Structure formats: C-alpha cells, structure tokens
Structure 1
C-alpha cells in the first residue's frame, strides 16, 4: 500500500461542534480534499466509524486500525513492544478528547479478493453522554456517523445492557424509524470492551455471536417496549455482530503516562486485537457503503454528507420524511454527477484541449449522441424519490449538458485559425477599405468623405490595439469580448455575394476615376 507515512497523515475535522450554539458545522472543504482526490473519487467507498460513550477507548482502537492499514501484514502489523501508539489523538483520564467527527487524512486504497479496488475511510466520533453535550447533539452525531458509514462499531464498556439497546434504538426512536425507511445501514458491530465473563461467552466473534443472540432474543413474556427495541435494531441493519474484548490491563487503566506501548498491554488483549482489526479491515471482510441498494463512491459520499447536514441544523431531530427527501436528493445528485462526468470525459476525447478542430456539425452530432447516452445512464441508475422527483434532476442535468456543450463549442471554435483570426482580419479589412476610399475620395476632391474614412480607419486601428492588448495581457477581457462581437456581426452581415459585388463595383469605380484623371 502506497500512502502518506503515519508521521505526516493526521486526523481531519469534518464535522465541527459549536459548543455555544449546540450545533454542528460540516467542513466541506476538508471533506472534499479527502474524498475528491483523483485516485479515490470514483472508487466505491468503505467507511468504518467508531461511536459510543465518551472515554471508552474509541480513538485508542482506531489507532490500531491505522497500524493495520499501513502495514497489512497478518502477523506483524500490530507493531513493536516499545512503539508508542500514534494517529487519532487519545489519552487516559475522565475528560473527553474527541469532538465532532474526525476522519483520517488518508483514504486508503485496497484491493479486494475479486480484484476490484475500494477506498477505505476511518472515522472517529465524539463520545456520547459527556457533561457538555445535549441528548440531541449525541443523537445527531450518532445519526450522521451511522448514516454515512458502512460499518458502525458501537463501542461499549463491560456489557451490553438494556439501556445500551434503548440508547441505540432511540438516539432517538426517530433515528431508527428513519433508518428503517431509508434502509441504508449495513453492518453494526457491538464491541464490548473489558469483557469479564469469558467463562460464559468466550472472547472474540464466536463468543460475541452467542452473547448477542441471547441479548437480542425476543421472548413471548417480554414487555412490548423491550420487544420493539430488539425488532427495531434487527430491522435497521443488514448485518449485526458482536465482539467481546478483554480488559487491556491495569497498567493501561491507571498509568497517567501510558502512551500505547504494547509492553504495557495484557497479552490476552493483544491476542484478541489481532482478531478484531482484520475482522473489520481485511480485504475479504470490507463492506462497501450502499444506500438504497446502490454502492456509492467517495464522490457520492460528499453529496450525502452535505444533504444530511442540512436537515440536522434545526433545534429538533429531523422528521423521517425530511430524512428520506435528503437521501433521495443526494441519491439523484450523485446519479446526475456520474452521468455528467461521462459526458465530460467523452467530449474531452472528441474536442478537448489537445484535440484538433472539429466541424461544428460533427461536434453537434457527437453532443446529441452523448447527451442521449448520459441521460439514459441517469435514468438507468437505481434512484429514490419516484418518477416526478427524479424528473426535476433529469431536466437540470439536460440544462447543464447543454451549457457544457456551449462551452465545448466555444473552445472548439477557438481552435479554428480562421475563427481566431476573424476579429483582426475584419478590423484590417475595414482599415484597408477605409484607406482606399479615403485615398480615392481625397484624390478627386471629396474631402468630407475622406476625413470620415480616415476617422473610421483610426477607430478600427484603435479597436485593434485594444483587442490585441486584451487578448495577450488578460486585462479588459469584457472590452475584448465586445470587440469580438462587433467584428463577428460585421463579418456575418457582409455575405460573400456582397463582398463580390463590392469588389466589382470598387474595381469599376477605381477604373473610372483613373480614366478621368488620365484624360485630364
């Protein structure tokens, strides 16, 4: 894997918490720098997010994931015994460290067993239930990380209790109704830290599976509310699993100077860590992000983040209908962006910067074919929102394609040497004709016409100088554009027949003048 070394890559804040306003702001520029890089923007994305209560070791766990991503060796990825743990900021203690949502500044490119390449993004989420965050803020962050991730690791301490399930269901109940409606959540892993009952359920995935089955079991004699919690959770995720992780040891928990060195961590914890991280990040276990049954790319994920952030700006959690509409909007925008990109790439091949001039009729034919192909691609992609909703985005796509064609057409015209020379040729023609007419009329004594022609010749020369300066200096571009339009109008108004007639009449006129002069 080629990428930034761990020393230069860093956590990047993509959702910022405003503690005074109790709101969140999406850092669009930072998100776009991450996901719109040329090497990853069109790859299907895998998003692994860790969420849960504050001060429970989420960032600590993510740093071991980073070690795996940079080394990807089944045996030695965990590092040396004396190597401090770096990456996402973490520390011991009882005060929160992470705020908002952070992502690692490198999006990793991995190859799956089938040969396809995917982009892997790691996200760290602000801990819930601290002394500075409201319930709405906790629910908002959990919702955002869940809606945008393909694997949500729900970090718990010691056990999976009923209040954990209720928090997960209701962060709030509205969230999970939204998730059921949109069907965009894929894998949920309950990560139970500091598991103290290995004699009942052993550490790891197998023990977690039996433990989770017991916890999520719906029994006939259960209260209806408890049954609904379990049904909601099962209905919202296509895959639910659990991993039981032992305590890392007293030296980790009580030493204020602990910096993540493996020598201070219990062997049992290290052993299970070697199973946990590959279970999430090995190529065969990667889960690509899907929304509405469609795999999304890094480019698409930017649109979904923007759409979701808009509806989480109010005082209350959004209604399921607005959540569904935001997802449908981002879904259609993503489909339109792909269709438009196909059109752009094809047109670049036909008349791009290094391509030769092509006749306008042929360019228009290519545009019509590619426009139809682009719209067909948009219509063929599985989308949300219904026919009427999608039609608006199709119409907008068609408008943008026509605008793009106009730009391509102008660019193509600029390659036509005759078109490029039209303005100076027109101005020179005006100057030459005015000069001849001035010369002849002055010779025969029609002074007023000669003066007028000289004036027009001076104006044409001035316009040519201004046009040349505007073209080659880049200044006064608007003035240069006006001169181009004037020259184009003159060029088009004078037809070839009129030019020929002008030539004939001019020849006869000059011949007559010369004959008159000779007879004198």
Structure 2
C-alpha cells in the first residue's frame, strides 16, 4: 500500500527540519524522474482544515489522467472523484484535535503530466504540517511554510471562509523568511505560483465560486481599506510571480461528517463537486502545468534534489522568524516615517514663488520697524511639523507611537538647531541683515527637509 514518505522531518529535541536523503533517492533521483522536468505542488495552511484531503483529490485527478487532459478542460464529469482507491488511500486524514502531518511529506510516486508544449513532466505532491497549531513552535511553522514555498511550482494556501488580514500577515512573514533562507543558500527567492484557496466561501452573492470570483476577492484583499494596502500589494508583487485565488463552496453535511470520520472526499454537494472539477485542471492541467523555474531554467528531479540540500543547509542560517517579524514591523515604521517626511517637505514647497515656511515668516514681517520675533519666524516650520505628525498618526501602527514621538522630537530638535545656527550671527543686527540670515536659514531648512537620508541619519 502506497503512503507518503517524509521529505523533511522535525527533530524533536531541537525543532529543526532535517532533510531525509532516502526520500531524495527514492523519489527525485529515480531513473525516470532525475532528468525530467518536475512540478512540485504543495498545500499549506492551518491544521485540521483539509489540506491532506485536497491533496487526495489532486491525486485522484492525476491518476485518472487529468494531467494529460484526458478528463477535459473542466475536469470532465467528475467520475474520477468516485474512483476506488482502497489499495492506496493517499495522504492520511483523520478527525480530532491533534495534527496528523509533521514536517514535509512527499508522495512516493511522481505523477506523469503533459505540458502545453507536449513535453512529458512529473507532478510531485507535497503535504506539510498545519501552520501555527498549538503543538508547533512559530519557528517550526514559518520554516516549514517558507521551505515549501521555495520548492513549489504551485503552492496552495488553504484558508477557511474568507481572506483575512492575518492571512496576509502570515503570507508576508513566511515569504520574508523564505527570502532570508534563499539568500543564505545563494538561490532566488521568488515564489512561482501561489494560489489562495478559500474553502467554504460564504458570500457567493458578492463574488461567485471559482477563479473569477477569486480574482475579485484577491483584488479587494490587496487594494482594500488600510494605509498599507498599496505597500502590501507591492511587497507581494516583489515576492510572488503569480498570485491567484479560487473560491470553493461548502460541501454538504454528509461530506463533512465523512471527513471527520476519516473519509477524505465523501459525497460532496453538486456545486462543490462542480467546482472541484474546475479547480483540478486549473491547478495542474496541461494548459496550466509549468515546471519549477529558477533563473529561467526548468528544474529536473536531480535539480530539485540539489535545491533541497542547499535549502536544508541554509535553513538555520537566518535569524529566527521572530526577527523576520521585527524586520517587517521596522519596514512599516520606515514607510510611515518617509510618508511624514514627504508631507513635511510638501509644506515647504514653493507657493507663488515662495516656500510655505518662508511665506509665513515674510507675512509676519512689518514693512518697517523692528525685526520679527523668533516665535514668528518658526511659525511656518511648526505648521509643517504638525502636518507631518498628523499624517503619521493617521497611518501608523498604534504600537509605534512612542517611537514616532521620539523620532518627531529628534527631527524637530535637529531642524531647530540648524535654524538657530543660521540665525545666530544676525543677533542684534538691523532688519536687512535679519532678512539675509533668514534666507540662509530657510535654505538650510529646505535642504534638511529635502534630504530624507540625511534626516533619517540624524534621527
């Protein structure tokens, strides 16, 4: 009876992932696979949400010839869903509160497919432990998901009901940690194709089932409310070559009961069955199948084995994932600071030929009489600072208030010091000298506000 083999196991004492060389020899370096293009397909996500069950559906589809197009472009009539797999049930599934899979498993029999070019290739199915469960450390969960993403041609992220903000946060954290591992291994870090699969989609009136509705949900998820939405979209575009989404309906209660009893498919409702038949060729059919690519080259089984060894050796090189999370928080703080500097600089831009700062000061100067006070001279500067702080406070994370206040105070102190140094020689002089000194002070303020690197250094 076939069953998955362990590709990466977790050491119970250290919690580190350990590559299983025997799996490389058995699967990736087999005679018919080592020189053939390979398409690793993985499923990741929270534990006890049906990842292994989905892999078993993929397994049935590919065994029925779906990877060669024999089931049709829409997965055929779904007869393959009813195939008798008694001799090889697939990836283990069972109910209960304890996870089944730990580390990363690989199906021992590569599954043949035909690429759009007509070239033969093999799909490799990868199962991984549930992310962020009660029995795994954060280091374990993030490292597993990061490694799976770096190995996969298609990574399916399995979520329930709808896309949430924490799904995006976890995706960014794991992608960032994967980037650190890849950098330590000297390999490219971009994920090839990442599919957000929303199981039990609860709002078909808002977005229809399938990949068309998934596209709508994904766009809203990336471009929705929030000050960092555009930055999040840019971060993912730099990390993932192809980001997609597919919406699956909820199976009927009989299917849910069957899954809890250990049956991985059960008898799904008609709509659920229809969408499964559309999902499978959309993931691995001839029109979609593409081998894992690195630096423009399709990886063979031997190439993927070498990549596994390189990533396994590099997995302990980066700092723990908690540090990657700190790096993401620091990046968010940096973006907010730069936005504040842009707003501050905008307040000093030319208005009718004069900067706002300079215009405010000149309005305070009498046509004749004694020089203006320091308070009046600093009024425009203070307005710029207030505007920048208001902009910052509207968009930054509340947890960063102390750091933001300290940064703003340091920036104000630095700018005032520049001004005072420029104005000191004019003390007690007549008004023309004051005006000349002010012009120098205004130039210094503009230079200070215009050079964000210099200001950031001074902070």
TM-score normalised by L of structure 1: 0.56
- 1:68 aligns with one of 61, 68, 89: 61
CA distance in 1, matches of 2:254, 2:178: 39
Q: 1:212 to 1:176 in 2, by over 3 A?
A: farther
Match of 1:465 in 2: none
Match of 1:139 in 2: 142
Deviation of 1:302 after TM superposition, in Å, equals: 0.4
Q: How does 1:331-346 map to 2 (within 5 A)?
A: none
- 2:80 aligns with one of 74, 78, 89: 78
Q: How does 1:188-207 map to 2 (within 5 A)?
A: 188-207=194-213
What is the aligned residue count? 309
2:49 counterpart of 1:56: yes
Match of 2:231 in 1: 228
Contact 2:195-2:245 within 8 A present in 1 as well: yes
List runs of 5+ in structure 2 lacking aligned partners.
Answer: 325-459
Q: How does 1:21-420 map to 2 (within 5 A)?
A: 21-72=14-65, 73-74=70-71, 75=76, 76-80=78-82, 86-171=89-174, 173-176=176-179, 182-217=188-223, 222-224=226-228, 226-254=229-257, 256-260=260-264, 262-263=266-267, 265-313=268-316, 316-317=319-320
- Greater gyration radius: 1
Give a deviation string over 1:434-461, Cα, whole Å, max 9, x none.
Answer: xxxxxxxxxxxxxxxxxxxxxxxxxxxx
The 3-state SS of whatever aligns with 2:205 is coil
Q: Superposition RMSD on alpha carbons, in Å?
A: 2.5
2:22 counterpart of 1:18: no
Contact 1:64-1:78 within 8 A present in 2 as well: no
CA distance in 1, matches of 2:8, 2:109: 17
Deviation of 1:37 after TM superposition, in Å, equals: 1.3
Give a deviation string over 1:283-311, Cα, whole Å, max 9, x none.
Answer: 22102101122221110100110010111
The 3-state SS of whatever aligns with 1:92 is coil
Higher RCO structure, 1 or 2 (CA under 8 Å, sep 6+): 2
CA distance in 1, matches of 2:221, 2:5: 36
Contact 1:40-1:109 within 8 A present in 2 as well: no
Deviation of 1:51 after TM superposition, in Å, equals: 0.6
Deviation of 1:252 after TM superposition, in Å, equals: 3.2
List runs of 5+ in structure 1 lacking aligned partners.
Answer: 1-7, 321-520
Give a deviation string over 1:455-493, Cα, whole Å, max 9, x none.
Answer: xxxxxxxxxxxxxxxxxxxxxxxxxxxxxxxxxxxxxxx
CA distance in 2, matches of 1:19, 1:200: 45
CA distance in 2, matches of 1:39, 1:82: 27
Give a deviation string over 1:343-375, Cα, whole Å, max 9, x none.
Answer: xxxxxxxxxxxxxxxxxxxxxxxxxxxxxxxxx
Match of 1:377 in 2: none
The 3-state SS of whatever aligns with 2:18 is strand
CA distance in 1, matches of 2:6, 2:44: 15
Q: 1:315 to 1:237 in 2, by over 3 A?
A: closer
Q: 1:24 to 1:177 in 2, by over 3 A?
A: closer
Give a deviation string over 1:324-352, Cα, whole Å, max 9, x none.
Answer: xxxxxxxxxxxxxxxxxxxxxxxxxxxxx
Q: 1:81 to 1:44 in 2, by over 3 A?
A: closer
Contact 1:68-1:77 within 8 A present in 2 as well: no
Contact 1:92-1:253 within 8 A present in 2 as well: no
CA distance in 2, matches of 1:12, 1:167: 27
Q: 1:301 to 1:261 in 2, by over 3 A?
A: closer
Deviation of 1:113 after TM superposition, in Å, equals: 3.4
The 3-state SS of whatever aligns with 1:189 is strand
More helix by share: 1
CA distance in 2, matches of 1:57, 1:199: 24
CA distance in 2, matches of 1:135, 1:183: 21
The 3-state SS of whatever aligns with 1:93 is coil
Contact 1:45-1:121 within 8 A present in 2 as well: yes
Deviation of 1:138 after TM superposition, in Å, equals: 0.8
Deviation of 1:78 after TM superposition, in Å, equals: 2.8
Q: 1:60 to 1:19 in 2, by over 3 A?
A: same
Deviation of 1:261 after TM superposition, in Å, equals: 5.3
The 3-state SS of whatever aligns with 1:171 is helix
Match of 1:500 in 2: none
Deviation of 1:166 after TM superposition, in Å, equals: 0.5
Q: Pick which of 238-247 and 106-115 moved more.
A: 106-115
CA distance in 2, matches of 1:240, 1:172: 13
Match of 1:454 in 2: none
